[in-house]
Structure 1
């Protein structure tokens, strides 16, 4: 039996279980693992935190001098924390479908963790920052190598250049079949719409068109 200490009374207080808001809905019939990927500082932790219906698990640590010369912080010099393992959250898209969200670390020195996070994932969201488009190229390449379907979400950042979707598609060498959408990772509704786009994309890939007799 797990207990936590009560400083006020000096007695042990029993932990009765998870909070009611953290329990899985009884109506849930399907659970899907989704990964949120992208380069360093593109907003993965923010997205998981904004959309998760449970208190998200984060592994953010304060950035120290140990990362100087190792992590590329060009364009995000004011960033003070970074994910060192993963982020985790959950969202129910409807009464029956639940998504488990896993955010990957962005720095190259933590990429060895990606293989485990990709295991069993049905799809992915690639977050990009148009100020630093190149930092997401490796994420796209790894997804393509593993055959994980994905959508690309252009995160909103102050003073970030705005490009036509066709130009972004060409710059990232993406086929027409991969959806590209705008997203504000800070906004729950926008992040949820991004995940719905991914679900619709996955459904379209698994739709079998009947052969014409």
Structure 2
């Protein structure tokens, strides 16, 4: 057996380093779809039928506990994606899911400025509890009434370059991949 093959076999027996990423944001921002689009496994979802009036008119199902997906980066690293519920009545899950996260993507529905205030509250919540790199995903950029990322950055009062705002289309694998790579770059800068 060649040395290179021995190294590969040795690495395949070694447990992979798991990088926990949190995907959060307001109700209907696209968190579940984001994970479904990129996960190499069938995502675990805890969606239930929406019962509340306003939410029910927006979408038929909502996450009540979490979404989970996985991506293998290389022989040594895996990304574990944990999606939080977007409705505030399930926000107790945010702390449970946030423990051990190395980075956070906050998705914002670029077509719905009514949710920007709530998105800012979610950003504040995670900034105060988890000092880890964060990226804002300006989702639904494929729709004609989507606000551009720079306008969303201003609307969210993000006056720092430490939190990039990137365009996202949660149904497009390349777009989701770019958002995750932006976060991984931030994580690498922070933790090396």
Pick one of 178, 181, 191 that aligns with 2:163. Answer: 178
Q: Does the 8 Å contact 2:28/2:58 carry over to 1?
A: no
Q: What root-mean-square deviation, in Å, do the aligned CA atoms of Structure 1 and Structure 2 show?
A: 1.9
In the alignment, does 2:32 pair up with 1:52?
Answer: no
Which secondary structure does the structure 1 equivalent of 2:57 belong to? coil
- Structure 1 pair 189/163, CA: closer, same or farther in 2 (3 Å)? closer
**1:27, 1:197 → 2: CA distance?**
27
Task: Give, in angstroms, the shift of residue 169 of structure 1.
Answer: 2.0
Pick one of 100, 106, 111 that aligns with 2:86. Answer: 106
Task: Give, in angstroms, the shift of residue 28 of structure 1.
Answer: 6.0
> Residue in 2 aligned with 1:143?
126
Provide the TM-score with structure 2 as the length reference. Answer: 0.83
Q: How is 1:21-32 mapped onto 2 (pairs within 5 angstroms)? A: 29-32=16-19
> Residue in 2 aligned with 1:122?
102
User: Once the two structures are superposed, what CA deviation does each residue of 1:187-207 show, in whole Å capped at 9, x if it has no partner?
Assistant: 122112211110001111235
Task: Give, in angstroms, the shift of residue 103 of structure 1.
Answer: 0.2
**1:190, 1:93 → 2: CA distance?**
16
- Structure 1 pair 54/180, CA: closer, same or farther in 2 (3 Å)? same
Provide the TM-score with structure 1 as the length reference. Answer: 0.76
Task: Give, in angstroms, the shift of residue 93 of structure 1.
Answer: 2.2
> Residue in 2 aligned with 1:191?
176
In the alignment, does 2:117 pair up with 1:134?
Answer: yes
In the alignment, does 2:191 pair up with 1:206?
Answer: yes
26-35 vs 198-207, greater mean Cα deviation: 26-35
Q: Does the 8 Å contact 1:126/1:140 carry over to 2?
A: yes
Higher normalized helix content (fraction of residues) = 2
Q: Where do 5+ consecutive residues of structure 2 fail to align?
A: 1-11
Q: Where do 5+ consecutive residues of structure 1 fail to align?
A: 1-24, 208-213
- Give the number of equivalent residue pairs: 175
Task: Give, in angstroms, the shift of residue 27 of structure 1.
Answer: 6.5
- Structure 1 pair 154/32, CA: closer, same or farther in 2 (3 Å)? same
Q: Does the 8 Å contact 2:140/2:168 carry over to 1?
A: yes
> Residue in 2 aligned with 1:12?
none
- Structure 1 pair 26/50, CA: closer, same or farther in 2 (3 Å)? farther
Task: Give, in angstroms, the shift of residue 177 of structure 1.
Answer: 1.6
